[in-house]
Amino acid sequence: MATFRPVLLRGILRGVREARGSRLPLIAGHKLLYSCNLRCRMCPFWRRKDQRLLSLQEEVKMMNTLADAGVLFMGFEGGEPFLRRDLPEILRESHDRFHTSLVTNGLMLKDRFMEVRRYLENLFVSLDGIGEVHDKIRGVEGAFMRTVEGIKVAKDYVETTINVTLGSENMDQAVNMVNLAKELGVSVSFQPSYDYSTAEKLSPERERLREVLLTLLKMKLSGEPIVNSKEYFESILLSWYGGRPWKCKPWLTINVDPQGRIVTPCYVLNEYSGSSLVWETDIEELWNSYDWSKFESCNACGLTCYLEPSLFDWKNLSMVRERILENAVDYLWNVLQEPIKPMIRAVSE
């Protein structure tokens, strides 16, 4: 329950500020570093040289500023976050302030997960296909098996989701990945690959992507463990194939680079190039003076961290149930189960 009270109280205060007309970020994404132990062909970030990374004290200073700005959800990524030795300390500080999630490629998950398990609400593990398909895309032989071994360790302790990036070389793997998620007892999320200027162009072929999205939408509606909302698939289909764009709301997500600099307007349009330091910026003033209007019609990417928040609507009862009520119940149930989980695992073994 440690994270529940601060998030709830700040959520109430955030609502008051929004009612007064203030625009505030809801979600923060922070790259802890660019270095990575994989060589994913579609990724530009491991190709960048890390400058001096933030110290733990600077990470805390960044988090305090984000909390003051109204952020409730904090997600950490890389590069590969587990390459940072101080990751447990960083996540502990985040857990005291935010609903905390982590994105990892899973290679080090089996060895280091137990160091961080108490500080996470959600874990997202990148996996793009079965066996050699994944290894070829991610650039390291044996990566698939090591990642699956890590998922098997983590799934008993924290809500775990497989993240699949759909590209030109794994379009035939989508159904297989849903089946793998079911086999492992986890959920799965999908998003199309985006072509960055400094990485290989592996975005999916247009008509093939349409077929896959329609298949995934049907599987979602049939109850398969796909965490994307049905509105996510419908919005991409309507925009990219029907000329009916969604309204993008990039202000709901604030991204912070490994040096603590704010990335605007979003993750992809300037290819994650940071500017001013978080703790030297009045975020509320910046967010309410920045011209977001010219980006509202941008449908260039299908990144879930932007599209899903943009689509959320309190008037949509199915979204409220799936995104708020069911998640809250699952979270509270996991909290209540935490003291007896060792006994449950001992009996099952």
Where are the domains positioned within the chain?
A: 4-10+24-312, 320-349
d(CA 108, CA 20): 45
Q: Distance of CA 251 to CAs 67, 203, 273, 288, 300, Å?
A: 15, 25, 16, 9, 16
Which pLDDT score is estimated for 314? Answer: 67
In the chain, count of helices (H) and strands (E)? 14, 9
Instruction: Classify 4-10+24-312 by CATH class.
Output: alpha beta
Which pLDDT score is estimated for 74? Answer: 98
**Listed residue (86, 80, 72) closest to 102, CA to CA:** 80
Which pLDDT score is estimated for 18? Answer: 84
Total-model pTM? 0.89
What letter does residue 203 receive in the DSSP assignment?
P
| Phi, psi for residue 310 in degrees, rounded to 5 | -65, -30
Residue with tokens 């302790």: 157
20, exposed or middle or buried, with CB in 10 Å at 0-12, 13-18, 19+? exposed
250, 297 in Cβ contact below 8 A? no
How far is C-alpha 274 from the geometric centre of its chain's CA atoms? 19
What letter does residue 173 receive in the DSSP assignment?
G
Distance between start and end Cα atoms, the chain: 28
Q: What is the pLDDT along the chain (349 residues), one digit of tens a residue?
A: 445 666 777 888 888 888 888 899 999 999 999 999 999 999 999 999 999 999 999 999 999 999 999 999 999 999 999 999 999 999 999 999 999 999 999 999 999 999 999 999 999 999 999 999 999 999 999 999 999 999 999 999 999 999 999 999 999 999 999 999 999 999 999 999 999 999 999 999 999 999 999 999 999 999 999 999 999 999 999 999 999 999 999 999 999 999 999 999 999 998 999 999 999 999 999 999 999 999 999 999 999 999 999 998 766 656 555 555 455 445 444 544 555 555 545 545 5
- At position 159, the amino acid (one-letter code) is E
d(CA 347, CA 349): 5
**Listed residue (70, 76, 37, 69) closest to 54, CA to CA:** 76
Residues 6+ apart with CB under 8 A from 66: 25, 28, 74, 98, 254, 256, 278, 283
Half-sphere exposure of 70 (CA within 13 A, CB side): 21
